[in-house]
Structure formats: structure tokens, C-alpha cells
Structure 1
Amino acid sequence: MTTATSVGALRSTEFIAGAKATFPLIVGAIPFGIIFGTLAEPSGLSALGALAMSLFVFAGSGQFIALGLLAAGASIPIIIATTFIVNLRHLLYAANLVPKVRHLPQRWRVLMAFGLTDETFAAVSSRYLRRDDIETAHWFYLGSFLAMYGNWVLCTAVGVALGELFPDMTQWGLDFAMSVTFIGMVVPYLTSRPMWAAVIVGGMMAIATAALPHKLGLIVASLCGIAVGLSLFMLEKRKQQGLENRV
């Protein structure tokens, strides 16, 4: 009984810690979620459709891109392809987490896959960097995921409601908060030249291709940033291996 009680307490502690670690990122996501809700109906998506997208898709940037493409009259294949490529970064997140979660049962990994967002990955990565024990880390992950998920769905509902009362809310400039949040998430992890190169090239290409239709500039910028960063990483790794072989 004592052991079960202590394990339960540890799980609760991890869960609460995960929610707390994600709270600063949630603050930045609140305006983002509200804006998504306000944009839904003007873009051609019903209130129920907006809520369903937040409940079952749960991908902030992907939802905004899909909404913009929907408003522009893009075809379903274009919407699917664009959101798929933009969200390819989650494959990198997942690859990073595989060694930490492979001991978990399938039901946990499925749940964690659905809850994998930029914010939760940032919070969980920090947890894994600070501590080596991973036996109960998935409860930390669950706390982070549910905190962000509940916030996103709630803010979407608030945005849908406010959008009818204040049709010009999208002109208030609330979206700056999410941009600042993403900058705060990314910068601490830019610890190598390939990372900096990927960010700089991706940013420059995003500006250069901003005029492309259907947000295709985002695809071009993402692919260019990934290609440059990966190329530099492989080049540095090859040089390091060459030096080791000489020694």
C-alpha cells in the first residue's frame, strides 16, 4: 500500500509539474486560440467545425494554414499537402523522444503522439535534459499536454463566441503573443551552426517567397531551412569522424 501510495504521489507531482512548466507557453497561446476562433466563420468554417478541428486536429499552425487556404478557395489536396509539410517538424520531435518512451505501452505512445505540440515538446525536452529518470516522465508529458489541450479548445470556443460580438478582433494585433512565445521556445535550443543556419535560411526564404499563392512559400522556406541545416550537420559530422580517424 505504501509503495502504491508513493507511486501515485510521484505521478501526481510529475503531472502538476508538467502543467506548471507549460503555463508560460499557454499564456502566449491564449490570444492565438482566440484569434483562430474569431477567424473560423469569416473563413468559411462553421463554429462547430472550428471546435471539432481544435478537438481532433489540435495543431495550431496547421489549423491556421488550413483556415487561410480554405478562405482562399484552395482544393482539399492542397490543404492536406501544405499542412502535412508544415507539420513535418513533429517527426523530428518524435524521433527525439523515441528513446525516452519506447518502454511505454502502445496506448500511452498513441496518446503522446496526439498531444505532441511545439509547447509540450519544449517543456518535456527541458524535463529530460534536467533529469535522467524517465520511469514517470510520461505523467509530466500528460500534464503538459492536457494543460495545453484544454487551453486551446477553450480559447477556440471563446474566440467563436467573441467573433460574433467583435467582428474586427483580428485587427487588434493579439497574434504578436504567439510569435514572441515561439521565439522564446526556439532561441534557447539554437546551440550549433547547423541550427542557426536552418533558422536564418528558413526565415529569409519565408520573406522572399511570401507572395507565393496558397502559402506555398512556407513549404519552400521549410524545405530550404531543413536542407541547409541537415547538410551542415552531416558535413560537420563527417569532418569530426575524419579527425577521429586521423587520431
Structure 2
Amino acid sequence: MASKEGGNGTVGRRLAHVFPHALPVVLAYLVIGIPCGVLEAQIGFGPLLALAFSSTFYTGAGQFVLPQMVLAGMPLPTTIASIVLVSSRQLLYSAGLAPYLGKGSRLDAFALAATVTDESFGVNLDRFAGDAGWDVRDGLLLNLLCMFSWALANAAGVLVGGMVSLPTALMSFGMTSIFVCLLLGQLRDGSTYVAALVSALLVLACKLVGLQGAAVLLGAAGGVVCGLAWQVWARSGGIRS
């Protein structure tokens, strides 16, 4: 008898449901994880350590920050504080997904929140909002597929890091390109355009005044607030959103 996995039936059926949505992020992570692994090799990581590190310390941008700051000779407290600030955006992601996690078990909800990243958050939020059949375990499976592709790419990067010279600065732009692709799929009405524009301007302003670590958090928060304000104003008769 086939084992059941909640609302989407067998494990195979659930995987078939989730994998097409995970595939763009999985492929992108395979590309940008390699230069991250190359950087990790420069601070002494081996493939197994990179694999374990990427599966537990799973923050994307924060994982790029660590080897760069170590190579720059930054003090440990400064490095930790920078990574915490860069990763603090995860608080917003958990809050954004919380309304959709009530129907799943607490363990599944915890595991989903613990494995979410920028890109998987965007895909999950879109699925939860637009697909009535998308449940907590679907979201968790998507997160795990993305996480394992990232971890494998980091391990591969460590392996090849000593053998070839890779333009890591250029390849790291792959992370930015993922956000651009996700953003274009979310621009649907006036409020989303306002949120995107305000977020971009706030991040740019923060970086110009030296608030590198808090730029993403402040930009995201400001964009959400302005987007919601625009939506309320439009619905009250201001303009058609």
C-alpha cells in the first residue's frame, strides 16, 4: 500500500506537485552555490564540512559574508553581528508565512520556518496564496529540495575551488538574478509596484549611508508598509489598485 503524505497523496505525487515550482530555485542554487564553496575552500573548508555547514547554517547571503569577512581579517564579534543583521530578514519571512501554517502540525510548521530562504519564501508565499492544494508539507518539501541543491553545490565548489579559477564576483550576481525573476512574477497591481520601488530605494539609501547589514531588512519592511498603505488608500477610493 502506498504511504500517504497528507492532502497530496503519495510521496511521488507530492514530489511531482512540488518539484516544478522548486526547479528554478534549485538550478539557480546549483550555479551560485559553487562560488560560495570556492570562497569556503579559501578559509579551510572541506567538502563534507561545506555540505554540513550549508545544511545547517542555511542563510544564503550570510554564508557568502562569512568567508569574505574571515579572509578580510575581521574580528569574530563583527563577523557574527554582520551575519545576524543580514539574516534578520528571516523574521519577516516567518511572519509572512505564519497565516498559512495553521492547518499543519507544529513540527512541520517549525521545520518549514527553519528551512526557508529568500527564494523559497517567495515561491511558497505565491503557492499558499494562489494554490488551494498547497499545504505545509508541500512548502517544507520545496524548502528541502532547495536546501539540498545549495548544500551539494557548496560541496562541489569546495572540490573545484583549488583546481580552477572562477570569477566569483560575477557568478555571485546569480543570487541577485533570482530575486529579479521572482519580483517580475509578483508585479501585479499598484501596491506591488509601490512596494518594490520603495524597497529598492530604501536598500540603496541604506547602503549609501553605510547601513549595509540592515539594508535588506529596512528596505523590505518599508516596502511592505508602503505597499499596504497604497492598497488601503486605493480601496478607500483613491485610485484603482
Q: Distance in 2 between matches of 1:6 and 1:41?
A: 41
1:205–1:221 CA contact under 8 A, matched in 2? yes
2:174 corresponding residue in structure 1: 177
| 2:97 is equivalent to residue 97 of structure 1 | yes
CA distance 1:64–1:229, change in 2 (3 Å): same
Query: 1:37 Cα deviation (Å)?
Result: 0.9
1:15–1:139 CA contact under 8 A, matched in 2? no
2:25–2:119 CA contact under 8 A, matched in 1? yes
| Equivalence map 1:46-195=2 (5 Å) | 46-47=45-46, 48-133=48-133, 137-166=135-164, 168-170=165-167, 173-190=170-187, 191-195=192-196
Residue deviations 1:123-167 (CA, integer Å, cap 9, x gap): 212211222345xx123213211211221111111111101211x
The sequence identity of aligned pairs, in percent, is: 22
Unaligned runs of 5+ residues in structure 2 are: none
| 2:204 is equivalent to residue 203 of structure 1 | yes
Q: Secondary structure at 2:170's aligned position in 1?
A: coil
Q: Distance in 1 between matches of 2:85 and 2:104?
A: 28
Q: Distance in 2 between matches of 1:218 and 1:154?
A: 29
Among 213, 217, 228, which residue is 1:219 paired with?
213
Q: Distance in 2 between matches of 1:67 and 1:200?
A: 28
Kindly provide the amino acid, as one letter, of the partner of residue 200 in structure 1: L
Q: Distance in 2 between matches of 1:172 and 1:85?
A: 22
Query: 1:186 Cα deviation (Å)?
Result: 2.5
TM-score, normalised to structure 1, is 0.79
2:36–2:64 CA contact under 8 A, matched in 1? yes
Q: Secondary structure at 1:219's aligned position in 2?
A: coil
CA distance 1:40–1:238, change in 2 (3 Å): same
Query: 1:2 Cα deviation (Å)?
Result: 10
Kindly provide the amino acid, as one letter, of the partner of residue 80 in structure 2: I
Larger Rg: 1
Query: 1:8 Cα deviation (Å)?
Result: 6.4
Kindly provide the amino acid, as one letter, of the partner of residue 199 in structure 2: A
TM-score, normalised to structure 2, is 0.80
Higher-helix-fraction structure: 1
2:194–2:230 CA contact under 8 A, matched in 1? no
Q: Distance in 2 between matches of 1:177 and 1:240?
A: 35
CA distance 1:173–1:219, change in 2 (3 Å): closer
Unaligned runs of 5+ residues in structure 1 are: none
Q: Distance in 1 between matches of 2:234 and 2:74?
A: 46
Give the root-mean-square deviation of aligned CA atoms. 3.2
